[in-house]
Amino acid sequence: MAITADMVMKLREKTGAGMMDCKHALEATGGDFEKAVDELRMKGQATAEKRVGKATKEGLASCYIHPPGKIGVMVEINCETDFVARTAEFEAFARDIAMHVAASSPRYVSRDQVTPDVIDREKAIYRAQALEAGKPEKILDKIIEGKLEKFYSEFCLMEQHFIKDTDRTITDLLNDLLAKTGEKVLIRRFARFQVGEEL
């Protein structure tokens, strides 16, 4: 199948990847648009893994105030160079993350920030719920692990589904940005404030 310039442009608009990367992905998948999108996302993941050890000392802090001013969020997003931190894609990503945190109220950036005492408390609750529901002892561990995965997907930012596109997680967005910038990008931290909430 001949790969046209329109096809390449459409894929670039969807993914933000470079023109040549889009062309190669379309050629590799025989012009299948969805497979080409997946190909670019996998490439972004592979690039992310290669850059794991790189230092992320640049970046920016971004703020979002949700109308009418009752919820405010500040996030810190890091990258390798100041050049990338000043790009429109990076700034838009930071704004989107701040808006997402305002809407989805994550407690942690990633599951490795969940402390052992929190995990133990959740497991104890899930075990008690399962026993109360009459579940057999032999499947309790499987039930608890399933509920713990659901806990991570609800409260860990990286595993939440993006509010603007619920087919994708925040990790997917981060990998897409890495594919566009060619740099390691890290969501360092966030703070969410809501008027009247208990301290």
Residues of the chain with pLDDT under 70: 13, 15-18, 43-56, 199
Architecture of domain 5-50: Orthogonal Bundle (1.10)
CA distance linking residue 138 with residue 58, whole number of Å: 50
Q: Where are the domains of the chain?
A: 5-50, 58-109+156-194, 115-154
CA distance linking residue 160 with residue 18, whole number of Å: 27
Q: Is 198 helix (H, G, I), strand (E, B) or coil?
A: coil
| CATH of region 115-154 | 1.10.286
* CATH class, 58-109+156-194 region: alpha beta
Instruction: Look at residue 54 in the predicted model and tell me its pLDDT.
Output: 59
Give the DSSP H/E element, type plus range, for residue 103. helix 88-104
Q: What would the 3-class secondary structure string for 87-98 be?
A: CHHHHHHHHHHH
Instruction: Look at residue 7 in the predicted model and tell me its pLDDT.
Output: 83
Instruction: Look at residue 195 in the predicted model and tell me its pLDDT.
Output: 92
